[in-house]
Amino acid sequence: MSDSVFFLKSISPIDGRYHNKTSEFSNYFSEYALIKYRVFIEVQYFIELSNTDIKIFQSLTNNDKKDIKSIYDNFCLEDAVKIKELEKEINHDVKAVEYFIKMKFDELKLSKFKEFIHFGLTSQDINNTAVPLMLKDSMDNVISLCYKKLINELNQIYSKLKDVAMISRTHGQPATPTTFGKEFKVFEVRLLNQIKSLNKIPNNGKFGGASGNLNAHYAAFPKINWDKFSDKFLERIGLERSKPTTQIEHYDNMASKFHNLSRINTILIDMCKDIWHYISINYLIQKVNKQEVGSSAMPHKVNPIDFENAEGNLMIANSQLIFLAEKLPVSRLQRDLTDSTVSRNIGVPLSHIKIALDSLINGLKKIDVNERIINIDLKENWAVVSEAIQTILRRENIENPYEILKDLTRGNKNINEKSIKEFINGLPVDKSVKKELLLLSPENYLGNLKND
């Protein structure tokens, strides 16, 4: 089957329609990736064991260790197929990995050591190190890079639009002026804060045997400090060991990651909605690709499809992230199997995030500010300076300034520059105050942004 046919027949749009945006996740969340990460853990654990004082390892040479590491370094699809075939026979995915590595030891003439593969471990010692590593690596190598691109794009927009004054809208109505750049800066800072929070969450793994107490390890070699061994092993592979645990990792910090990702998504949804609205009122315009079609019926349409696509994918991701965060930390007694099938879906919301980020970054590159419309809106909304006027009048101890301005401006569609200045000239205040008030305009009433 050709790739194009495969993509056309894929059930999930992640692997079908959007495969060009998500294919790199196959290195982290495919069945092949899971198997490869499991092989990595088993091999690294054996190497770590070989560095202890266990007598049998005295005859294991450095060249032997290099050969053992090559089992992972040279791991390929054909190896994964062999493991899947073993799994069909024994109906156990992790045990199939163990048997595969034992076969490799036979080929390397290292059979005398093969019973120390998976020594003292349970499946979750492999899964609860492999899966957190998969998540960590995917975040470091894919999602974090997308965040950096997005932040860079937002920063460029801020720099370009930081001096473009515009009418803000609260409750959908004209309100105190702001600058377009500052409104993008709001999202940039919110994102940076949440990304910083995300990066502080530890990458935890579980490593402690069938009930979390390293029972089998201490039974076999009671003089070895297996707790210290396990701590160092997980640290060496890039994880922080959770302890104490049951048979499985409690997933609390992984759940924190999912909640944090959801908050980032929520900020991005908020931004997509705002940009969509700015486009709808012509504050923003989209660069036109003459070859593209906006509507099957209306030839004139240039729709904000990138932002709508991003919004939809972020919402899908959030529903799945919240489910993962609520389900994974819950397991009956010392363990049940429900986390197994659920954890296989971690790559799904991350893929939707990747699709959304690509669409959002692409959309941001295509927007431009429509200063003509923005300036018209500023000139038609002189009522917004009433806030400044009544506040300065309060400073001058004029009685009831808010009520006076309310009577003048609320619901009055005829308020303009002329009527505001006539009102100011009729105020019982010093000439210096009138001069100060007459300098006010929607374009310059920008607070601390005037000199930004």
Which residues participate in catalysis according to the annotation?
Answer: 171, 295
Q: Which residue blocks in 213-346 are alpha helix, DSSP H? A: 215-220, 226-236, 252-280, 305-327, 338-343
The one-letter code for the residue type at 42 is: E
Strand 165-170 and strand 173-179: the pairing is antiparallel
Peptide bond connecting 244 to the previous residue in cis, omega within 30 degrees of 0: yes
**Six-digit token string for 26:** 């196959």
- Of 452, 353, 307, 444, residue with least CA distance to 147: 353
**Six-digit token string for 170:** 């609260």
Half-sphere exposure for 415 (CA within 13 Å, toward CB): 23
**Six-digit token string for 138:** 């995917």
Q: Which residue blocks in 237-284 are alpha helix, DSSP H? A: 252-280
CB 188 within 8 A of CB 158: yes
Helix (H) / strand (E) element for 175: namely strand 173-179
Q: How far apart are CA 248 and CA 123, in angstroms?
A: 9
The one-letter code for the residue type at 178 is: T
- Angle of CA points 221, 227, 228, to nearest 5°: 105
The one-letter code for the residue type at 433 is: V
Q: Which residues touch 101 (CB under 8 Å, ≥6 apart)?
A: 39, 42, 43, 46, 71, 114, 117
